[in-house]
Structure 1
Amino acid sequence: MIIFNQKVNQVFCKSISRSIIVISTWLMMLTIQNVHAEETTSPIEDKDSGYGKLKIAWGFGYGFDWRKSNLIKNTSNQKTSGIDNKYGLIASFQYTLNPSVFIELPIIISYLAPSTRYFNSYHNNSGDGYNIDVSILGNYYLIVKNGFSFLPKAGLGYTFGYMWQTSTRLVIDKNINDTSSVIQSSFFIRLGAEVGYFKHHIGIFFNYYFLTNEFSSIKMRTAQTSANAAIQPPVTIDSSNTYLDSFGTNIYYMYRF
């Protein structure tokens, strides 16, 4: 009887040992799977967010556009093209479709420093302005590894800009302000790429403005009849223009929550 009990105990201990080995192996495999999942999970996911959740990102950036213009092109000192510089703040709304893909709607509001093509001939200054840029982009996480990510993106957008310049002219005993202004709107195709480390991202956009409309009210100098003649008021030229090909680039920093 004692020998039988010893054999039973041995069999029981072996069974327990085998069970512990099986459970330990299963737990180790599960841990490895979880670590691998954490390394390959998109940075836009976390334990508190699921697919379809709307999130927001904030950032800032710099951009420049090469623009051409046919406004009042018949004047001898009027340039027909130039580079506009933009310094802006970004708010981007993103919607997750799956672990690797999300759609975003970035809105960029910028201070716009136009080239001399509009206002320099009369005001002797390039002017000031603002610009609003809205686009819808598809994003794909091509590489995700240890917190680093790389994602290309593409989409369409619309931009609206307003530029102006004011000069003061003294007439007898009072000052008169002469203001020139230009409204510019464009539709564009946007391609870009972004590199991220956890929630910090740096990216670049390439923009092709395939359709641009301009509406302007620009002051121009008038010819003096003689050296002693009184200074003549400027002539206001109202015009509009449509052109097809212009290009731009944006670089930016974004914090994706």
Structure 2
Amino acid sequence: MIQVNHTTIPEATVMAEVQYHPAASKREATLKAAESLIIGELFRQRAKALGITVKSELNIASDDNFLDALIEQEVHIPKASDAECEQYYNLNPQRFHSSPLLEVSHILLAAAPEDHKGRIEAKILSEQIIEQLQQGASFAELAKHYSICPSKATDGSLGQISKGQTVSEFERQIFTAEPGLMPQGVESRYGIHVVYIARKVAGNLLPYSAVELKIAEYLNEKVRRKAVAQYIHTLIVNAEIDGYDFNLSDSPLMQ
């Protein structure tokens, strides 16, 4: 049982809340659930003290209106200035490039992730195919013979692709590669890919005018989260909480 300024949060309520806080262990999920309920009760008590209408339920998910009103009244959240947005743009140019374009062909050797024997066999076969290609074999012919991807009908060609068009584990490897035949097979959830990059067009730096609104939204949300976390910290420090050791530095809700 937990008490927040003499208001009781029953153990059954904490257990019912656990389902909304997935975690690596039951203990971690229980801690998250307890913290969420404690913070929700602190919000509710403070709102009532300020004359803001709130519902009586412990779960605050449906009480967004009262929570927004409370934060608006109690928390000062500064807005990012134009100078701060432009500074962020200048300091993080890598975040504001258009996606590079790759012209890619591949030979897909199918093997499910859980099929360890099949993955090993596919990897060995990919090495043999790469060796044949390095010796001058036709990529198109090998694609037609070995690949299980429909692209084998077009000599293994995937055409031009940009980030977000294929699975992440495949992209992560091909977009950091240089044009030409990749010296090793590329693993994905579908199997092993023998990959040839015919052309790579680097992405261009987007102009500040094209991204300034997104930068402002990002910085404003970052500041908002920090301000609300500090507000929660203040509520907890000034509260009388029994039945729970609120370790602020380790609390996942305080990050």
TM-score bucket of the superposed structures, by smaller chain:
under 0.3
TM-score normalised according to structure 1 size? 0.17
TM norm structure 2:
0.17
The structure with the greater share of residues assigned to strand is 1
Higher relative contact order, chain-length normalized (CA < 8 Å, sep 6+): 2
